[in-house]
Amino acid sequence: MKVIKIDKSQWSQTLEKIRGAYRLFGPVKEKTFHNFTELSDGQSPDLAFQNTRLSPKSLVFPQSEVMLNYSLDEADADHHVPKEAPKDYSPRAVIGIRPCDAKALALVKMNFDTDQYKDPYWLNLYNATTFVGLACDAPCGTCFCTTAGCGPFSEEGLDVLLVDQNDHYVAKALTDKGTQLLQKTGSKETTAAAIETAKIAAEAKITAKIETDNLRGADMMALYKAGLWEDISFACLNCGTCTFSCPTCWCFDIQDEVYRKKGVRMRNWDSCMFPIFSVHTTGHNPRDSKLSRVRQRFMHKLKYFVDKYDKGIMCVGCGRCVRQCPVNIDIRKVSALMNQLGSEARCAVKGS
């Protein structure tokens, strides 16, 4: 696969060459935080960031998205007939997505692209996008990607890996989409030798960990009924910050909104931490307590997903929920408790 060198003095010009074929998106500083947004003509992504406050999942899964439009006006010939909302699925390139967030999209794809069901909205945006990842060389203290099946130079879900080498970038194509994008730059080819050295140095900086080795073998009902959920959920505010900031949370709700005689059907992010998330049309709520909602979030990420897919945990170790939970509920501590319980359950089975 193609590897090129881009001098930083040529960075703006290189982006303009790419812009000729793609809509560009990248991190931009908003007050004190960076977030991903579409870059206007001549605007460069601000790559001097550790990670964005919100994950870039909204690039393929907008927080609110119109699916269908319809008219309730009987004077309109096609009243009450829902029509696809217009969408722009032209080629896009996301410059500077972190490897953990790209891996998260690859995990989420398992939900939106199955043999039985394909989500056209998510997939059309995902397939239209070329992901240019920026390897991490200064991870946050709360990052634990290396024990979450990922890493600061992880390539899963990326089309290109970009590595900062002080006065230049090394860009390595990982897919055919990535090769096509790099061909637009006209930059000189180089070798990938520097990437391995930088990768080893970056991985050594990540000291935070998550313990997961006993989760797959653990007895599900023993974990579900464990007393630990009382303590873990006690302080939770059910604010949903953890789920909205998480790159691997994918839940949404579909609603119709009508103003006068025009209607839209739209989907909006939802959160298992919200009290009405699971309410049935009968009014029954199977998760009517804070404990049951907190348990659902962690059991889904650390047990149900693990057992269903055998692809590790539904978490890439970005640390956003750890940093942003207002009451300091920490998935690493929850996983350690679950993992310990899993270990004890195994010992009990072996000893019986």
Cβ closest to ligand SF4, residue 124 vs residue 292 = 292
CB 105 within 8 A of CB 247: yes
Cβ closest to ligand SF4, residue 3 vs residue 325 = 325
Phi then psi for residue 14, to 5 deg, are: -65, -40
Binder of ligand SF4 out of 171, 236, 302, 341 (CB under 6 A): 236
By the rule CB under 6 A, 317 interacts with ligand SF4: yes
DSSP 117-169: -B-HHHHHHHHTEEEEEE--SS--TT--GGGTT--TT--TT-SEEEEE-SSEE
Secondary structure of 326-348 in HEC code, one letter for each residue: CCCCCHHHHHHHHHHHHHHHHHH
Of 192, 213, 203, 178, residue with least CA distance to 94: 178
Q: Three-state SS for 60?
A: coil
Binder of ligand SF4 out of 187, 248, 296, 339 (CB under 6 A): 248
Point out which span in 11-19, 24-32, 39-47, 321-329 binds ligand SF4 (CB under 6 A).
321-329
Binder of ligand SF4 out of 237, 254, 276, 347 (CB under 6 A): 237
Binder of ligand SF4 out of 162, 171, 223, 315 (CB under 6 A): 315
CB 158 within 8 A of CB 225: no
| Shortest spacing between CB 117 and ligand SF4, in angstroms | 23
Point out which span in 13-21, 170-178, 182-190, 232-240 binds ligand SF4 (CB under 6 A).
232-240
- Interface characters, 82-121, with ligand SF4 (x: CB under 6 A): ----------------------x-----------------
Contacts of 297 (CB under 8 A, 6+ apart): 242, 243, 272, 273
| Shortest spacing between CB 86 and ligand SF4, in angstroms | 32
Q: Give dist(CA 162, CA 170) in Å, integer.
A: 6
- Interface characters, 36-55, with ligand SF4 (x: CB under 6 A): --------------------
Hey, what amino acid is at 199? K
Binder of ligand SF4 out of 28, 272, 316, 345 (CB under 6 A): 316
- Interface characters, 284-303, with ligand SF4 (x: CB under 6 A): -----------------x--
Q: Where are the alpha helices (DSSP H) in 284-330?
A: 290-299, 305-309, 320-324
Binder of ligand SF4 out of 306, 318, 334, 345 (CB under 6 A): 318
Contacts of 208 (CB under 8 A, 6+ apart): 141, 142, 143, 144, 317, 319, 332
Number of residues in contact with ligand SF4 under rule CB under 6 A: 26
DSSP 210-227: ---TTTTTS-HHHHHT-T
Identify the helix (H) or strand (E) that includes residue 243: helix 241-245
CB 163 within 8 A of CB 200: no
Cβ closest to ligand SF4, residue 202 vs residue 272 = 272
Of 94, 100, 87, 89, residue with least CA distance to 37: 94
Binder of ligand SF4 out of 246, 266, 306, 338 (CB under 6 A): 246
By the rule CB under 6 A, 140 interacts with ligand SF4: no
Point out which span in 66-74, 153-161, 182-190, 245-253 binds ligand SF4 (CB under 6 A).
245-253
Point out which span in 156-164, 194-202, 214-222, 309-317 binds ligand SF4 (CB under 6 A).
309-317
Binder of ligand SF4 out of 161, 215, 223, 321 (CB under 6 A): 321
Binding residues (CB under 6 A) for ligand SF4: these are 104, 236-242, 245-248, 273, 301, 315-321, 325-327, 329, 331
